[in-house]
Amino acid sequence: MSGKLAPDGECFARMLLTRVIEPGDEVAGRWLRERGAEEVVRRLREGGRRLPGVTDKRWAGMRARAVRAEPERDRAAAGEAGVRFVCPGTTEWPVQLDDLGDGRPVGLWVRGRPSLRMWALRSVAVVGARACTEYGAHTAADLGAGLAERGWVVVSGGAYGVDGAAHRGALAAGGATIAVLACGVDRPYPRGHTELISRIAHQGLVVGELPPGDHPTPNRFILRNRVIAALTRGTVVVEAAYRSGALVTARAAQRLGRYAMGVPGPVTSGLSAGVHELLRGDAVLVSDAADVVELVGQMGELAPERRGPLLPRDLLDPAATQVLAALPAGGTAAADEIAREAGTTADDVVGRLYELRSLGFVERHGDGWKLTRQATIPVQPDHGRC
């Protein structure tokens, strides 16, 4: 492509520039603000005078990228993958991303049917360690499910550990979730989460700054975090070491005037050290979804009155509770037996059983499933405390 741009020139030019400009490039962002995307593309592709703020070497590299870019092919590939390109200023653009100033995304590639702008209005980020503990995974899943049940969109990065648990918790509750990737949205990463990200795209949204087929780099992961922070009303960190990308997200949220929250963990755990450091600053301690909603929600949208201890299963959504109740109190049962008892299909039961297993309620024994000790121990009411 050279010379004249397509009729939707500004948006088409920005689509091309996602192949040229790295996420968070504030120098290029200033060019876009002052000159517009079409002018920037013309200067890059037609050999115009170097724009200010970059060296000759960097300008030559950007020009080479611009000449190689094929936005028509990117648009066709995106269409085949069910992906659309959302530009600043259009009806689907989340205006809170403008708080990033010249570092805001050039545009966003979006996979999934819901409106990104509408979903982002009522969203919370849940992030944390990739190599999380069982406690971290359980807490993140509970937060994801609890927020989804209260009508909030759960935003995370699609990574292993806390991110994946938060997404799964929201999906298990039949709720809404957004994965913000550091690569092309048609190229799930990590590969081990291909099925999860596909499910998110079907039930929610997968979002990224990079064009179709583009790959992640360490720097892109860090820069991706600013989008998560800006998109949401607040960021909850569940398990993070001192040097953690999750803390980068929380601190970006603080700089942008969003809420930063942390879930405390054992003082002996290095994976809680970063969270505790965050809590010693201006971050707010939260323990569950009700605490988060009370902080980030509108006036009057408060946490429910505390009524004492709950059974762990009280945190599950009704469909999962129904499957859990269908398991025998002792011994194992096959998935088709559980399906008959729960009044649903075997496929639905298998999906629910794996979700329940990730939360520690059931375990698999060969072809059968049985309740764990956690699922069977009652919590006695605490009548003696006020």
Q: What is the pLDDT of residues 189-229, one digit of tens each?
A: 899 999 999 999 999 999 999 999 999 999 999 999 999 99
* 185 pLDDT above the threshold of 80: yes
Is the Cα torsion angle 210, 78, 84, 246 positive or negative in sign? Answer: negative
With cut-offs at 50, 70 and 90, classify the pLDDT of residue 301.
low
Q: What is the pLDDT of residue 298?
A: 66
With cut-offs at 50, 70 and 90, classify the pLDDT of residue 346.
confident
For the chain, how many helices (H) and strands (E)?
A: 17, 12
- Closest to 246 (Cα-Cα) out of 280, 282, 221: 221
Contact between 250 and 235 (Cβ < 8 Å) = yes
Task: Average the pLDDT over each of 58-62, 265-269, 285-289, 321-325 and give the range with the smallest value.
Answer: 321-325
- Closest to 62 (Cα-Cα) out of 123, 10, 19: 19
What is the Cα–Cα distance from 370 to 320, expressed in whole angstroms? 14
Degrees to nearest 5, angle at CA 74 with 111 and 105:
60
What is the Cα–Cα distance from 131 to 31, expressed in whole angstroms? 40
Residue boundaries of the structural domains of the chain: 9-106, 109-296, 312-376
* 7 pLDDT above the threshold of 60: no
Q: What is the pLDDT of residue 376?
A: 55
Burial of 24 (0-12, 13-18, 19+ CB in 10 A): buried
Mean of pLDDT values over 164-180: 96
Task: Give this prediction's pTM.
Answer: 0.76
Q: What is the pLDDT of residue 374?
A: 63
For 235, the 3-state DSSP assignment is strand
% of the chain surpassing 90 pLDDT? 73
* 161 pLDDT above the threshold of 50: yes
With cut-offs at 50, 70 and 90, classify the pLDDT of residue 329.
confident
Q: What CATH architecture does domain 109-296 belong to?
A: 3-Layer(aba) Sandwich (3.40)
* 283 pLDDT above the threshold of 70: yes
In which element (H, E) is residue 229 found? helix 218-231
With cut-offs at 50, 70 and 90, classify the pLDDT of residue 381.
very low
* 299 pLDDT above the threshold of 70: no
What is the Cα–Cα distance from 13 to 42, expressed in whole angstroms? 9
* 102 pLDDT above the threshold of 80: yes
* 143 pLDDT above the threshold of 50: yes
Q: What is the pLDDT of residue 366?
A: 84
Number of residues assigned to the chain: 386
What is the Cα–Cα distance from 31 to 29, expressed in whole angstroms? 5
Q: In what order do the strands lie in the sheet with 234-238?
A: 83-86, 108-111, 205-208, 177-181, 153-156, 123-128, 234-238, 259-263, 284-285
Q: Say how many Å lie between the first and final Cα of the chain, rounded.
A: 72
With cut-offs at 50, 70 and 90, classify the pLDDT of residue 60.
very high
Give the pairing type, strands 177-181 and 153-156: parallel
Q: What CATH architecture does domain 312-376 belong to?
A: Orthogonal Bundle (1.10)
Q: What is the mean pLDDT of the chain?
A: 88
Q: What is the pLDDT of residue 351?
A: 81
